[in-house]
Amino acid sequence: MKFNEPAGQNPIDNGKVVGRATDRIDGPLKTTGRAPYAYERHDVAPNQVYGYILGAGIAKGRIASMDASEARRAPGVLKVVLATEHPPLKTGPMNTARLFGGAEVEHYHQAIGIVVAETFEQARAAAALVRTTYDRAPGKFDLAAEAEGAEFVPGDGPDKAPVKRVGDFAKAYADAPVKIDVAFTTADESHAMMEPHATIAAWNGNKLTVWTANQMIAWAKRELARTLEIPPANVRVDSPFIGGGFGGKLFLRADVVLAAIGAKAAGRPVKVALTRPMMANNTTHRPATIQRLRLAATQDGKLTAIAHNSTSGNLKGGDPETAIAQTKLFYAAPNRETFMKLAVLDLPEGNAMRAPGEAPGLMALEVAMDEMAEKLGMDPVEFRIINDTQVDPENPEKKYSDRNFVQCLRTGAEKFGWSRRNAQPGQVRDGRWLVGMGMAGGFRNNMLMKSAARVKLDGGRVTVETDMTDIGTGTYTIIAQTAAEMMGLAIDQVRVVLGDSDFPASAGSGGQWGAANSTAGVYAACVKLREAVATKLGLDPATASFTDGRVIAGNRSVALSDAGALTAEDGIEYGDIGKRVVQSTFAGHFVEVGVDAYTGEIRVRRMLAACDAGRILNPKSARSQVIGGMTMAVGAALMEELAIDKRFGFFVNHDLAGYEVPVHADIPHQEVIFLDTLDPYSTPMKAKGVGELGICGVGAAVANAVYNATGVRVRDYPITLDKLIDKLPAVA
């Protein structure tokens, strides 16, 4: 199905199933332990054995020698495959770090071998017997030290100019009566998802099947075939349930590749799970940033100039953390300047983590907006409202498809009780606690991606098949809701099967694009199935309606089950509709914190998000997505930081004991409000994503609340108590 014009009235608008708060249909499987996650697929291949991956003990240099003789003699060991005995694997366009093979070491815990044994304990013990020596080389591990020599990142315009300028920023900034110039840093962060990267691999002749944890099935199949240099037709990827990804499972990683290599070498199915240290240092992470914001305004609060630049680091050939992305679009200002710089570092690969770019970028932009509002003597909400825009500030002829940011701010402020905030910092106390309120805007673009599905009707019931994944987001349920709405059925009459590369390729889970695009693909397949059903029943497809298990056209009403068995397959494809307008999602985030006046301990007391993301397909699971993002943002603001050993180039706190994330005791009640909007430019579903919007801006709202509580402005995240304690107001 081609989608290139705004959606009109369609069956989804009936709203009998779609848009209703619905329990997850996969919930009983998960709560009873019957949901099959990758490492638990004991039944898919007989005689499984265990692989244990060795990680490099240096961050930069070469392997001088590897001696696996003792390991190969160890009890239960079937095979040992060493990097020095294996040619370097090809690296596809989705990967920066090399995954296996050869003596060169690019980062700490790079995979340098796999031991395959009958039991996990035998594989782990034998791996400790492999003797490796290295020729260590000097490495670059400190972003701050390398920032001055970082190179400009080419821009996205036709001339690739690295500095994007609109108007005359320098003059406007120099002439402005009110201006600020502030710098921020954000830390390296780990995805820290509950389920580790895990894979079971089995060969049947020259055909490979992997049962793995991966967010993007079609990408994984393509990249695995390319990496192993086998035909894509010989690769099957199966991933029906994923225990969290946050971008860390978007791409092919060492667990998949080495499980396949180990299985080929051992002649047995091999299962591999990465240890926590390997997850932190071998896979991807969110890179740290150094950001600078300059804002200029008139006395009445109108922004006249805005500049944002960001420096981040990555392996050679890697990409930057695009922290300036939202600043190009969020607020009106006629004079603008943005650019990024990238330093080459010898740390593990930096790549996508929930809301890449916007999450750390808004942690800076929205604090800068708060500082400017204070300097102007304006309320932070009103300051944002008067700088709202309904067009792309860099391309004013391009309008937003639907932008209700102001409504998010006003609704959130009213529900949160923002009017009770004391604008003067450090004035509100509750016993030993200094209490403050903060807010920030949230922004995340909406992305359109092709997505397909197959729908089967049999006996009045429908089965949906698509390689779409469920990473804990509720995909099973919203796809079932879509098919049920389209075919006039109850949700329990729909069966959903996901995550198999033998099914039609979907948008996959990532970038907040999964829900809207995958359901649009199911919509397209159901449109084709509806036509086939009506035709078979002798009804007019153009006028037929589907409701309560019946098909109605004119004065005829026929049971859907009378159509027998039919199959339809289709997908959603977009023309230039995504380029004609700006499609984005918005939020107003509000936070109240308490700061211990004696110790500087920060406690989040209340949180609220008011969100604009088009039609909300399932308010219950959408709320879960938003509060999950809000929780991650609290972590980024207050505790999450991968500590780097700058001598040897690795993340020291590479487990869940040392890498702190928020737990239930850290998070108060979270209120989420969804505006009742539709965006006909997005998809036929008129929906947009919310999964990353929940993290966008919340960190800044926390930081602004801490400032309001204490009068201490911390611009280096995370805001730990050591950055506050010597600056707190006097206790007596």
Q: Judge contact between 593 and 438, C-beta under 8 A.
A: yes
Q: How far apart are CA 99 and CA 252, in angstroms?
A: 9
CA dihedral 528, 530, 531, 533 (to 10 degrees): 120
CA angle 290, 294, 295 (to 5 degrees): 140
Beta bridge partners of 80: 115
Closest C-alpha among 106, 101, 103, 104 to residue 88 = 101
Q: Judge contact between 633 and 186, C-beta under 8 A.
A: no
Our separate counts of H helices and E strands in the chain read 16, 33
Closest C-alpha among 174, 173, 156 to residue 164 = 156
Q: Is-catalytic flag, 5?
A: no
The β-bridge relationship of strands 602-612 and 670-674 is parallel
Distance of CA 40 to the CA centre of its chain: 25
Strand blocks (E) in 315-446: 335-344, 391-392, 395-399, 429-430, 433-445
State the burial class of residue 352 (Cβ atoms within 10 Å of its Cβ: 0-12, 13-18, 19+). buried
Q: Judge contact between 529 and 489, C-beta under 8 A.
A: no
Contacts of 34 (CB under 8 A, 6+ apart): 28
CA angle 232, 235, 236 (to 5 degrees): 130
CA dihedral 721, 723, 729, 732 (to 10 degrees): 50
Q: Which of 349, 366, 485, 692 is catalytic?
A: 692
Q: How far apart are CA 202 and CA 84, in angstroms?
A: 24
The β-bridge relationship of strands 198-204 and 207-212 is antiparallel
Which stretch of DSSP H or E encloses residue 373? helix 358-376
* Residue found under tokens 């040897």: 648
Q: Judge contact between 636 and 717, C-beta under 8 A.
A: yes
- What would the two tokens of residue 226 be? 């390319």
Strand blocks (E) in 544-615: 545-547, 550-553, 556-559, 566-574, 584-596, 602-612
How many other CB atoms sit within 10 Å of the CB of residue 430? 9
Instruction: Report CA torsion sign: 346, 348, 352, 355.
Output: negative
- What would the two tokens of residue 485 be? 């709405």
Beta bridge partners of 296: 179, 305
Residue 21 is classified by DSSP as: -
Q: How far apart are CA 11 and CA 489, in angstroms?
A: 12
Q: How far apart are CA 631 and CA 361, in angstroms?
A: 17
Closest C-alpha among 342, 329, 350 to residue 586 = 329
User: What b-and-e string marks burial along 59-97, b requiring 16 or more CB atoms within 10 Å of the CB?
Assistant: bbbebeebebeebeebebbbbbbbbbebeebebbebbbb
Print the SS3 string covering 429-475: EECCEEEEEEEEEEEEECCCCCEEEEEEEECCEEEEEECCCCCCCCH
The letter for the amino acid at 128 is A
State the burial class of residue 99 (Cβ atoms within 10 Å of its Cβ: 0-12, 13-18, 19+). buried
Q: Judge contact between 573 and 3, C-beta under 8 A.
A: yes
Instruction: List the catalytic residues.
Output: 692
